[in-house]
């Protein structure tokens, strides 16, 4: 997609899903919400959230683990169904973000806008959450930030077929609803809850990491950006909200660095490894973790993330 198509798509996916949420609320009040709708929504939410967090983010962007080509492609297609952009575009933006996080050039920092006080803060948060995707001058050159993916034929094809894949992500839950209930109503409400409502919620969980997790929360590590950990967002974002952890150790397969930090995406990677479906899983050395938490570092002893 070119810049204009990207903005139109973002506007469409920002306006249509909220209307679907309102329709879903009407259905809920009208007692048309069925157990099948909840099941279809949960299935699609999990598939698409793992596609973004495990596929787009930890696999394609940071190379936190390696896997077979079929699993790599399945995760990438699942990420595309989330509607957050073609994989090559998504990865280019995110790698650029890590290079200049919260500095000039960061595509979605909430700390670079004009204005002061509450109004300025809200304006900057809006930009980091969604507004940056509507910027007509937004560009992150794929050949500069992710030439590895540009050279990969499968990634080019998935990126080119992004819009049909998003549409399939709406039609698939409708088909699931039809198979489960055997009714046209089940198909319609399945597409509504598992397609449009899921699209709305999965995307805004991801957008919240860009905005909320660079503005509110706890800073365990003294990183050079404003990344923060937000505990209440950790589970719905599948572990992405341990964002300060992630900026301290970008290549780590797990963002939840302690046992109590819930990280479903990291858990999936470890499961794949245990099943011998993932390899070269990047872990943080415990000594390095302890030193970083104390604000110290061991220069030369450990590889740089």
pLDDT in tens, the chain (305 residues): 656 666 677 777 777 777 777 777 777 777 667 899 999 999 999 999 999 999 999 999 999 999 999 999 999 999 999 999 999 999 999 999 999 999 999 999 999 877 678 888 899 999 999 889 888 788 899 999 999 999 999 999 999 999 999 999 999 999 999 999 999 989 999 999 999 999 999 999 999 999 999 999 999 999 999 999 999 999 999 999 999 999 999 999 999 999 999 999 999 999 999 999 999 999 999 988 988 888 754 443 444 44
In a domain, 303, yes or no: no
Quote the Cα angle for 2-208-231, to 5°: 150
Residue 60, burial from CB neighbour count under 10 angstroms (0-12, 13-18, 19+): buried
In a domain, 298, yes or no: no
In a domain, 305, yes or no: no
In a domain, 10, yes or no: yes
In a domain, 216, yes or no: yes
In a domain, 32, yes or no: yes
User: What range defines the domain where residue 245 resides?
Assistant: 3-293
pTM here is 0.91
Four-CA torsion 269, 273, 276, 278, nearest 10 degrees: 50
In a domain, 132, yes or no: yes
The count of residues in the chain is: 305
Listed in sequence order, the residues at least 6 apart from 83 whose beta carbon sits closer than 8 Å to its beta carbon are: 13, 166, 169, 199, 202, 203
The residue written with tokens 């589970």 in the block is 235
User: Cα dihedral sign for 68, 71, 75, 80?
Assistant: positive
In a domain, 163, yes or no: yes
Domain count, the chain: 1
């Amino acid at each position: 997609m070119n810049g204009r198509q990207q903005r139109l798509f973002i506007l469409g996916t920002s306006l249509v899903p909220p209307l679907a949420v309102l329709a879903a609320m009407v259905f809920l009040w009208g007692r048309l919400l069925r157990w099948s709708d909840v099941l279809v929504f949960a299935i699609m939410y999990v598939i698409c959230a793992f596609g973004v967090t495990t596929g787009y983010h930890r696999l394609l962007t940071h190379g936190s683990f390696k896997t077979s080509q079929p699993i790599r492609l399945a995760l990438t297609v699942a990420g595309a169904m989330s509607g957050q952009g073609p994989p090559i575009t998504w990865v280019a933006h995110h790698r650029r973000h890590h290079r200049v996080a919260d500095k000039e050039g960061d595509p979605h920092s909430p700390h670079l806008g004009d204005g002061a006080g509450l109004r300025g803060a809200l304006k900057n948060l809006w930009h980091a959450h969604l507004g940056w995707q509507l910027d007509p001058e937004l560009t992150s050159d794929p050949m500069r930030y992710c030439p590895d993916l540009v050279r990969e034929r499968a990634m080019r094809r998935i990126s080119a077929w992004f819009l049909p894949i998003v549409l399939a992500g709406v039609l698939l839950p409708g088909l699931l609803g039809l198979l489960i209930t055997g009714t046209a109503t089940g198909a319609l409400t399945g597409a509504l809850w598992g397609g449009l409502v899921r699209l709305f919620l999965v995307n805004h969980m991801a957008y919240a990491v860009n905005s909320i997790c660079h503005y509110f929360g706890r800073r365990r590590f003294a990183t050079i950006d404003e990344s923060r950990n937000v505990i209440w967002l950790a589970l719905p974002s599948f572990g992405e909200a341990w964002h300060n952890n992630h900026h301290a150790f970008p290549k780590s397969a797990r963002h939840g660095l302690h046992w109590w930090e819930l990280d479903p995406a990291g858990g999936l990677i470890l499961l794949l490894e245990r099943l011998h479906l993932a390899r070269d899983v990047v872990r943080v050395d415990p000594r390095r973790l302890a030193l970083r938490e104390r604000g110290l570092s061991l220069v030369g002893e450990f590889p740089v993330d």
